[in-house]
Each structure stands twice: as structure tokens, then as C-alpha cells.
């Protein structure tokens, strides 16, 4: 969530940011004007309310003075004024809550402001490649992962559909073990060499937790919910949600930052906006595993931490010897809560294309304001909002796809990358 004071002082900057994110100039200006108007109405009302409260307190003291002077008429007159003020204050406090809610609801659907070095563009075609690692394998004979998996008899979409419908997969035998090995390998790398602390997180969270990492209210249709008592809990779309919210409603000592957290968890997404996309195979699933990276930093360190986090995610693919490229997303393709995002795209020979396997974003204090997550520098009374970052380190299912396609052999088998063999009991190949 953006700071309304910053918006009030920089309306043109927000207007330009909304335009860069794809809003028409007229719509961007109207949105900013509406926010400023709601803020002015709230502040004007609060000023009147404070004046009334001050007069109520002063008048209450005047009653005692009038009584001491035995001026009953004046005392009664002031009592009547106090009663009138009390009614106004009570109604005014209710109105203040309404105005606060109206402003906060409007702010909750405003996206973050891109950093100055983010390229301006409309969609993925305007993203900018920043580096490329490894040599892509290009061959017309390359099969896609689902062709390989089904031929091995270890990947079953038909039985998964009978159990749960579309966008689910059943893995068995050594292919199931390979997916598990990938997750374990990533966790060991991030905790053993990159300084992240492993966390086991709840898979069901409250609405306010989903609001904190900006899944709600804007992306409610992308989530799954279950009943819980008289309310509901949401299945996490990514471990970013519980990991980042570990800092919610807390004040962390500055010297304890950065906090670097990682988790391997199932993720659940309805893929509401993906009808007809990637319907074959397990590239886009309702349920999948991902290793998440989250950093909580001070305000000065977040941009450098973003580069570091992206390098940690890239290292996974380097160790697996998978070709990839890293792109910086343009303003029109960037996520709602991000100020800057790097996507890491792994090469898939079966598709003859690069596909996203990790997305690393710096969010500034956008999420921290929604979570009320702060830090305090030693010797200072004032607190500051933390900066949050999140990234995939990496998506396990997509890593499985990439390994299968890049390490496929002509006989239908799949060679196990060297980095994974210790996790596979020394196995060097998966065959039929």
C-alpha cells in the first residue's frame, strides 16, 4: 500500500507511474484525483472532529467553574452545549471510521510505483534481457516433458483428472523421487551456502495475511479457500505469504536485518486468468511445489538485496547446468506489488523456448504498510517500515520439466544431473 502523504505531495508522480503500468492518462489522473479528494475529505472531517473534542473538554471544565461561582444558568447552558458536542463527536467518530475505510479501500487496489530504472512498456514483449547463461539445445527431435513422462510410465494426467480434474498430475517412482530431490537440493543450497533460514509454514492463512502480501482484495479469484468455523482460510498461492507475514505487526531491531527466509511448500492457484494456456502437461498447475526466498531488509539495502536474491535463484540453474536467461520486466508486465522484477527463464527444448522458472521482486515498503511491519534504528525513537523482497528459488515442478527436457536421451531415458545424484541414491538415469 502506498503512503497517502506521498501521494498528496506527489500526485503527478503517481499519475505517471499508473500510466507507465498501462492506465490511460485520463484514468490515471482520475484515480489520483479521487484518492486526493478522499484524503482531503478525511482530513477536513478529522480537523472538525478534533476541534469539537477540544471544545467539549474545555466546556466540561467550564461547568465546574460555573458551579463554583453558583451560576446555575451558565452551568446549564454549558451542559447543553456539552451534550450537543458529545452527540456530534460520537457521530463524527463513526464518520471518521467510514472515511478511513473508504480511503484505505481505494489505496488497497493501487499498484506499487516502479523504480526509475524499470523499462517502460506494455507487456512481455517489452521486457529487457540482461544476461544469458548456457547454450540452448535446439533440435526438432526434442520431446516435451509430458511425452517423456508418459512414455516412461511415471507421469499420469488421466488418473489425476479422475481424482481432481484438470491441471493436476500424478508422478510415480523415480520421477516422483526426482521432484523431491530437486526440492531438497534447492533447500540445501540456499540454507547451506546462501544464508537463508529454513522455515516450515502453515499452508492455510487468514484474509489479513493474504492482504498483507497483496493477494487480497485484487486477486481473490486466483485463490482457493476452505471453510473455517464461521469464516474461511486461504490456501497459500506461494510461501511468500506466510514467510513475509512473519514480520507483520512487529518492530524489528535494525541490527537484526536482513532476515533471509526460505521454505519448500505446496502452492495452490486457481489459474483463473489462464484459460486455454499451457493445458498440456504440468507447466501450469493448480497445485505445485516451490522453494520460496524472502528477505526483510532496511530501506537502504533492498535494491542490493534484490540483485543478491536473483543471483541465488540463478545459482540453482547453474548447478543443474540448465541454460537460462534473466530479464527485467517492463512496467506493463510487472506484478501489482513489485517495484522491480527479474524473471529467470529456463530453456525448454521441447517447446524450443525460454519459460519462466523464477520471479524475484523488490517491493519497497508497499507490503510492510499493509502488514504494519517496522524496524527501529538504535538510538532513534521513530520507527521505519521494513522493505520486503520475494523470489522463487525455484519452482520445483518447472525445474523437473527443465531437467526432463534438457537431459532427455534418444532411447527415452532421462539422465540425472550430477548435482542431484546424491539425492537419488547415486542413480544416474531414469529409464522406462
**pLDDT one-digit tens code per residue, 157-200:** 999 999 999 999 999 999 999 999 999 999 999 999 999 999 99
Predicted pLDDT at 56: 84
Predicted pLDDT at 70: 81
227 in active site:
no
Predicted pLDDT at 26: 97
User: Which one of 305, 374, 398, 405 is the catalytic residue?
Assistant: 398
- Cβ-based neighbour number of residue 430 at 10 Å: 24
Residue 103 predicted with pLDDT over 80: yes
Q: What is the mean pLDDT of residues 4-8?
A: 97
* Residues written for the chain: 432
User: Which one of 21, 177, 260, 269 is the catalytic residue?
Assistant: 269
11-20 and 25-68 helices, crossing angle to 10° = 140
167 in active site:
no
Q: CATH says 4-107 is which class? A: mainly alpha
Predicted pLDDT at 272: 74
Which tens digits make up the pLDDT trace of 334-368? 999 999 999 999 999 999 999 999 999 999 999 99
Q: What share of the chain is helix, strand, coil (3-state, %, to 5)?
A: 45, 20, 35
Which tens digits make up the pLDDT trace of 246-257? 999 999 999 999
Judge if 4-107 and 124-430 fold alike in CATH terms.
no
Reported as a pLDDT band with limits 50, 70 and 90, residue 131 is very high
Sign of the torsion formed by the C-alpha atoms of 123, 129, 133 and 136: positive
What residues does each domain of the chain span? Answer: 4-107, 124-430
Which tens digits make up the pLDDT trace of 296-315? 999 999 999 999 999 999 99
325 in active site:
no
Residue 274 predicted with pLDDT over 90: no
Residues of the chain with pLDDT > 90: what percent?
A: 87
356 in active site:
yes
Which tens digits make up the pLDDT trace of 119-129? 999 999 999 99
User: Which one of 295, 358, 359, 361 is the catalytic residue?
Assistant: 359
Residue 277 predicted with pLDDT over 80: no
Residue 11 predicted with pLDDT over 80: yes
Which tens digits make up the pLDDT trace of 32-84? 999 999 999 999 999 999 998 888 888 888 888 888 888 888 877 888 887 88
Residue 374 predicted with pLDDT over 80: yes
Predicted pLDDT at 60: 83
CA gyration radius, the chain: 27
Q: CATH says 124-430 is which class? A: alpha beta
Alpha helices in 282-417 (DSSP H): 302-319, 366-371, 396-406
User: Which one of 284, 308, 325, 355 is the catalytic residue?
Assistant: 284
Q: What is the mean pLDDT of residues 374-394?
A: 97
Predicted pLDDT at 128: 98
The mean pLDDT of the chain is 95
CA nearest 333: which of 342, 322, 323? 342
Alpha helices in 263-384 (DSSP H): 302-319, 366-371
Q: What is the mean pLDDT of residues 140-161?
A: 96
CA nearest 250: which of 201, 212, 294, 307? 212
User: Which one of 19, 220, 321, 356 is the catalytic residue?
Assistant: 356
Amino acid at each position: 500500500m502506498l503512503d497517502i502523504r506521498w501521494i498528496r505531495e506527489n500526485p503527478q508522480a503517481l499519475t505517471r507511474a499508473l500510466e507507465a503500468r498501462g492506465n490511460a492518462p485520463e484514468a490515471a489522473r482520475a484515480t489520483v484525483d479521487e484518492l486526493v479528494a478522499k484524503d482531503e475529505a478525511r482530513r477536513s472531517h478529522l480537523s472538525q472532529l478534533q476541534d469539537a473534542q477540544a471544545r467539549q473538554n474545555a466546556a466540561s471544565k467550564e461547568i465546574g467553574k460555573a458551579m463554583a461561582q453558583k451560576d446555575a444558568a451558565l452551568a446549564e447552558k454549558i451542559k447543553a452545549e456539552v451534550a450537543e458536542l458529545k452527540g456530534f463527536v460520537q457521530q463524527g467518530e463513526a464518520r471518521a471510521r467510514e472515511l478511513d475505510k473508504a480511503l484505505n479501500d481505494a489505496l488497497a487496489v493501487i499498484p506499487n510505483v516502479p523504480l526509475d530504472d524499470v523499462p517502460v512498456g506494455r507487456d512481455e514483449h517489452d521486457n529487457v534481457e540482461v544476461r544469458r547463461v548456457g547454450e540452448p539445445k535446439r533440435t526438432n527431435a526434442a520431446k516435451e516433458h509430458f511425452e517423456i513422462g508418459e512414455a516412461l510410465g511415471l507421469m499420469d494426467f488421466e488418473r489425476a483428472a479422475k481424482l481432481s480434474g484438470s491441471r493436476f498430475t500424478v508422478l510415480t517412482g523415480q520421477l516422483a523421487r526426482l521432484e523431491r530431490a530437486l526440492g531438497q537440493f534447492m533447500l540445501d543450497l540456499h540454507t547451506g551456502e546462501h544464508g537463508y533460514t529454513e522455515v516450515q509454514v502453515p499452508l492455510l492463512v487468514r484474509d489479513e495475511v493474504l492482504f498483507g502480501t497483496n493477494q487480497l482484495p485484487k486477486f481473490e479469484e486466483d485463490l482457493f479457500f476452505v471453510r473455517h468455523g464461521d469464516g474461511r482460510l486461504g490456501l497459500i498461492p506461494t510461501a511468500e505469504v506466510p514467510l513475509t507475514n512473519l514480520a507483520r505487526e512487529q518492530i524489528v531491531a535494525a541490527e537484526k536485518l536482513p532476515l533471509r527466509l526460505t521454505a519448500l511448500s505446496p502452492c495452490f492457484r486457481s489459474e483463473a486468468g489462464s484459460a486455454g494456456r499451457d493445458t498440456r502437461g504440468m507447466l501450469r498447475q493448480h497445485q505445485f511445489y516451490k522453494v520460496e526466498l524472502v528477505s526483510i531488509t532496511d530501506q537502504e539495502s533492498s535494491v542490493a538485496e534484490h540483485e543478491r536474491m536473483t543471483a541465488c535463484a540463478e545459482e540453482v540453474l547453474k548447478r543443474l547446468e540448465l541454460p537460462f536467461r534473466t530479464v527485467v520486466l517492463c512496467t506493463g508486465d510487472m506484478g501489482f506489488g513489485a517495484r522491480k522484477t527479474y524473471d529467470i527463464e529456463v530453456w525448454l527444448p521441447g517447446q524450443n523456448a525460454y519459460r519462466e522458472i523464477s520471479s524475484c521482486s523488490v517491493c519497497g515498503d508497499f507490503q510492510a504498510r499493509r502488514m504494519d511491519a517496522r524496524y527501529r534504528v538504535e538510538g532513534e525513537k521513530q520507527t521505519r517500515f521494513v522493505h520486503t523482497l520475494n523470489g522463487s528459488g525455484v519452482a520445483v515442478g518447472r525445474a523437473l520439466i527443465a531437467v526432463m527436457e534438457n537431459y532427455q536421451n534418444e532411447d527415452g531415458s532421462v539422465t540425472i544431473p550430477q548435482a542431484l545424484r546424491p539425492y537419488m541414491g547415486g542413480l544416474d538415469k531414469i529409464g522406462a
